[in-house]
């Protein structure tokens, strides 16, 4: 729900329909794949916390390259040359926008109404948005606000409660499985320690499912 998943924000789902039944992305299993993308998110948000007045557009490009590198790694043993570039390129067209990262709009919950079969009751949309509204405003006001760590955790817990109450996920469905895995990963980019290099040393908390909206447009 890493920003619509922080997750970054910022994560998003690869377009590999032939592999939905196996819950894998190229040669990568789903959970390790998600964890790799979350590392990209961590680098972005840690850099924003370290220097909130810095060039967000440049950091966005770095996150985009990080995603590209991790996604490519899942296909490099399957394809080569133009076929490899085409496969990775088709996935990267769904990469979250700069606005989602820099303005925090990707911190909102997943809009299941855009999915091919909506697993949630009508009450889900408004209540899940209420869970993350304060988080988004806090991030927009100051990406380095130390309260983001606890607020992010509270927002995720709220979205999880709303999802459990109003949604019925079918774990045989690839997109639903993606949501379920995200929910179970202990991750919070706003709790990561800031080192001298601006990288993550560790993270804590839960995950606000990230950038699943990209998948919804692909299915």
Cβ-contact 162, 120 below 8 angstroms: no
C-alpha–C-alpha distance, residues 148 and 131, integer Å = 14
Q: Give the per-residue pLDDT at 215.
A: 37
Most confidently modeled of 42-46, 106-110, 131-135, 178-182?
A: 131-135
> Does position 197 have pLDDT exceeding 60, yes or no?
no
The percent of residues above 90 in pLDDT, for the chain, comes to: 34
Q: Are 71 and 91 in contact (CB under 8 A)?
A: yes
Q: How far apart are CA 90 and CA 38, in angstroms?
A: 20
Determine the Cα–Cα distance for residues 146 and 151; give it in Å rounded to an integer.
Answer: 9
Question: What pLDDT was estimated at residue 194?
Answer: 52
Measured in degrees and rounded to the nearest 5, phi and psi for residue 81 equal 60, -135
pLDDT beyond 90 at 133: yes
| Best-predicted range by mean pLDDT (189-193, 204-208, 211-215) | 189-193
> Is 18's pLDDT higher than 60?
no
Which of 3-7, 19-23, 70-74, 156-160 is predicted least confidently? 3-7
Q: What is the dihedral of CA 37, 71, 90, 212, to 10 degrees?
A: -30
Q: Say if CB 80 and CB 170 are below 8 A apart.
A: no
Average pLDDT across the chain, whole number: 75
Model pLDDT, residue 10: 33
More reliable by pLDDT, 204 or 189: 189
pLDDT (0 to 100) of residue 160: 85
Q: Please tell me which residue, 34 or 211, carries the higher pLDDT value.
A: 34
Tell me how long the chain is.
Answer: 219
Residue 2 has pLDDT above 60, yes or no: no
Confidence tier at 213 by pLDDT (50, 70, 90): very low
Q: What do you get for the CA distance between the two ends of the chain, in Å?
A: 18
**How does pLDDT run across 31-58, given as a tens digit for each residue?**
788 888 888 888 899 999 999 999 999 9
pLDDT at position 95:
80
pLDDT, residue 195, reads: 45
Alpha carbons 33 and 209: distance in angstroms, whole number: 14
Residue-level pLDDT at 119: 83
Tell me the C-alpha distance between 142 and 45, whole Å. 12
With residues binned 3-state (H G I as helix, E B as strand, rest as coil), the percentages for the chain, rounded to 5, are 60, 5, 40
């Amino acid at each position: 729900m890493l920003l619509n998943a922080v997750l970054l924000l910022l994560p998003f789902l690869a377009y590999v329909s032939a592999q939905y039944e196996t819950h894998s992305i190229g040669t990568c299993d789903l959970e390790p794949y998600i964890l790799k993308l979350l590392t990209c998110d961590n680098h972005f948000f840690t850099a924003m916390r370290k220097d909130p007045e810095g060039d967000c557009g440049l950091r966005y490009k770095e996150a985009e390259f990080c995603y590209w590198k991790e996604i490519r790694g899942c296909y490099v043993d399957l394809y080569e040359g133009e076929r490899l570039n085409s496969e990775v390129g088709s996935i990267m067209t769904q990469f979250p926008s700069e606005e989602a990262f820099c303005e925090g709009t990707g911190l909102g919950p997943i809009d299941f109404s855009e999915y091919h079969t909506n697993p949630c009751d009508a009450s889900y949309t408004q209540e899940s948005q209420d869970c993350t509204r304060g988080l988004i405003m806090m991030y927009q006001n100051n990406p380095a606000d130390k309260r983001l760590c606890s607020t992010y955790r509270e927002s995720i817990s709220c979205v999880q409660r709303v999802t459990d109450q109003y949604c019925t996920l079918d774990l045989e469905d690839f997109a639903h499985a993606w949501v379920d895995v995200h929910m179970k990963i202990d991750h919070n980019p706003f709790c990561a320690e800031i080192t001298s290099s601006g990288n993550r040393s560790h993270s804590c908390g839960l995950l606000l499912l990230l950038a699943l909206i990209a998948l919804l447009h692909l299915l």
